[in-house]
A = this chain, B = another copy of it.
Amino acid sequence: MAAATGDPGLSKLQFAPFSSALDVGFWHELTQRKLNEYRLDEAPKDIKGYYYNGDSAGLPARLTLEFSAFDMSAPTPAHCCPAIGTLFNTNTLEAFKAADKKLLLEQAADEIWEAVKSGAALENPVLLNKFLLLTFADLKKYHFYYWFCFPALCLPESLPLIQGPVGLDQRFSPKQITIGVYDPCNLAQHPGWPLRNLLVLAAHRWSSSFQSVEVLCFRDRTMQGVRDIAHSIVFEVKLPEMAFSPDCPKAVGWEKNQKGGMGPRMVNLSECMDPKRLAESSVDLNLKLMCWRLVPTLDLDKVVSVKCLLLGAGTLGCNVARTLMGWGVRHITFVDNANISYSNPVRQPLYEFEDCLAGGKPKALAAAERLQKIFPGVNARGFNMSIPMPGHPVNFSSVTLEQARKDVEHLEQLIESHDVVFLLMDTRESRWLPAVIAASKRKLVINAALGFDTFVVMRHGLKKPKQQGAGDLCPGHLVAPADLLGSSLFANIPGYKLGCYFCNDVVAPGDSTRDRTLDQQCTVSRPGLAMIAGALAVELMVSVLQHPDGGYAIASSSDDRMNEPPTSLGLVPHQIRGFLSRFDNVLPVSLAFDKCTACSSKVLDQYEREGFNFLAKVFNSSHSFLEDLTGLTLLHQETQAAEIWDMSDDETV
């Protein structure tokens, strides 16, 4: 290029190469496509760039790729010229490095050559301006490695300049013209890259008829707002003899890197991207990775979009929330009425020492705050409120009664506005009210409870949808499957026949905290237990959500472990009972109990008919109220009668 002079007889035509110009939007869009569409697919992709012929002096001839590069039907910006390219995005840095650059260039050159030979390029000169883009996107670090190629077929010999380049004004009257190119270059003595393959086309086509060709490099530059043809250049070159030659000529075109050497470039976008947006896409990354290779049928949306209500923000609540965050769940609401105490932070992984000072922050609020600190994209809320309980009277005064009414209403609203209700409290009786409301509202309930080194994690049975009014349609996600033919009592139990936490009990819940010693109040457990149970509670929810029947899915049992699993993630048990001393889990299945103090129709009917009035009776009464209602009292009497009868029977024998 340095040797170029105005001497028409001696100098050789030299070309200004393209410089790649990749917008941040391009990398954003590549990230999205990689995550959502390409995944592990390394096949070449069509992309589209453009260049402009009106840049100011001093700017390189740039081929620009924006976020729109992946949309082949996207319009090219005004006054710009499109360039069609091929993206080779590799999965690893090693594949990027190992890519056969020579071969890729040869293949592209062949295509151009075919377009030259066939005449397609005459019809559509865009075919001459192909480009290649080899990339590796390190989406963990937001480092993007790339190497551009603008394949240019080489003429058999360099082109002697017969005349020019001179400004267009010195050569043409406004009416005169020969062969033109839209030229992105703004050097006075040199044309840009697009001319190269055009000249090959010209030589191939016309070198038998013409010895030389006059070239007009059209540049649309304005100077102080005025278009001036003086910016465009014109020259005449001697065409080499290659008329209709069949073999593809040698080609060049890989771009130099920032240091001027032959090599790829790298752009590190991790600092200039919006951190919160970065966090969001990073969090999604791990999840989407699961789909790429391991569980292609995983329906992530079902998980990410689920709204979870966590009743209890203690050891279990914190661990459940952490696991939900890991699954990308964005809507998490806590309910708790305790403050954070000094013993909590080492076992409740959303709290720190500072949270314990001055009496301790309310757990529900602190937990929600912490989730925001972990991941600003989460929608977390906390409510510092009590859940009224059977056997804990609320009728001391009109004030306490009104407070209980408000608490019930608030809890009903919360359960209504969430999809899954987690019962993570530390007493049995505090689980009763939400179990009743959730059963009535047909919400999926996941229940977790700890012993010292044992735990139970279970989904409550999900009742069949209520009778619909004439005009109502049953919402899709609540359709219960038809009863299964031949289902025995202990296998193939569909979700709507499964029991709840209270179904196995023959005593109604009451005040269990009175008169408990310290070790009982603290629900002392091995420290690892809550992490395991909390994690399993969420994994159970996710597996159930993946099942096409959701909460109505037939319960898997331990015996199903050797069978084909019902979901892409595996089994959907009713209960997981864990024994840490044996490092063992079993998967029992149990039926709903028609005298259950929480989910039997007797209780649900009363609740739906009488609302708070019924609930208040339960709160204010001893065990016997619920036991009378459900028929447990009668059952007790019958059992006793049976025992008496058995004894007398023995005596008569």
**A490 beta carbon closer than 8 Å to chain B:** no
In the complex the two chains form, is A583's CB within 8 Å of B571's CB? yes
- Compute how far the CA of A289 lies from the CA of B516 in the bound complex, rounded to whole angstroms: 13
Residues of B within 8 A of A281 (CB): 342
Assuming the A-B contacts A373-B352, A519-B293, are A140 and B343 also in contact, with contact meaning beta carbons closer than 8 angstroms in the complex? Answer: yes
Q: Which of B279, B356, B453 contacts A279 (CB 8 A)?
A: B356
**A394 beta carbon closer than 8 Å to chain B:** no
- How many Å from the CB of A557 to the closest CB on chain B? 11
- How many Å from the CB of A545 to the closest CB on chain B? 13
In the complex the two chains form, is A342's CB within 8 Å of B278's CB? yes
**A122 beta carbon closer than 8 Å to chain B:** no
In the complex the two chains form, is B580's CB within 8 Å of A570's CB? yes
Cβ < 8 Å to B, chain A residues 40-97: 40, 91-92, 94-95
1/0 per residue, CB under 8 A from B, across A440-471: the answer is 00000000000011000000000000000000
- How many Å from the CB of A494 to the closest CB on chain B? 19
**A521 beta carbon closer than 8 Å to chain B:** yes
1/0 per residue, CB under 8 A from B, across A556-586: the answer is 0000010001000111010010001111110
In the complex the two chains form, is A531's CB within 8 Å of B358's CB? no
This chain's copy number in the assembly: 2
- Compute how far the CA of A585 lies from the CA of B290 in the bound complex, rounded to whole angstroms: 22
Interface size of A as a range: 35 or more
Residues of B within 8 A of A581 (CB): 565, 569-571
Nearest B residue (CB) for A268: B359
Residues of B within 8 A of A286 (CB): 343, 347, 522, 524
In the complex the two chains form, is B353's CB within 8 Å of A292's CB? no
**A327 beta carbon closer than 8 Å to chain B:** yes
- Compute how far the CA of A580 lies from the CA of B538 in the bound complex, rounded to whole angstroms: 12
Among A140, A531, A539, which residue has the most Cβ atoms of chain B within 10 A? A531
Assuming the A-B contacts A571-B581, A585-B584, A587-B583, are A342 and B283 also in contact, with contact meaning beta carbons closer than 8 angstroms in the complex? Answer: yes
Pull 17 A–B residue pairs with CB atoms less than 8 Å apart, ordered by A.
Answer: A92-B516, A92-B517, A94-B515, A275-B353, A282-B343, A289-B518, A289-B519, A292-B519, A293-B517, A295-B452, A326-B347, A345-B375, A346-B375, A526-B539, A527-B538, A571-B583, A583-B587
Kindly list 6 other residue pairs between chains A and B, CB separation below 8 angstroms, not including A271-B359, A532-B535, A570-B582.
A283-B342, A286-B343, A345-B375, A353-B375, A353-B376, A570-B581
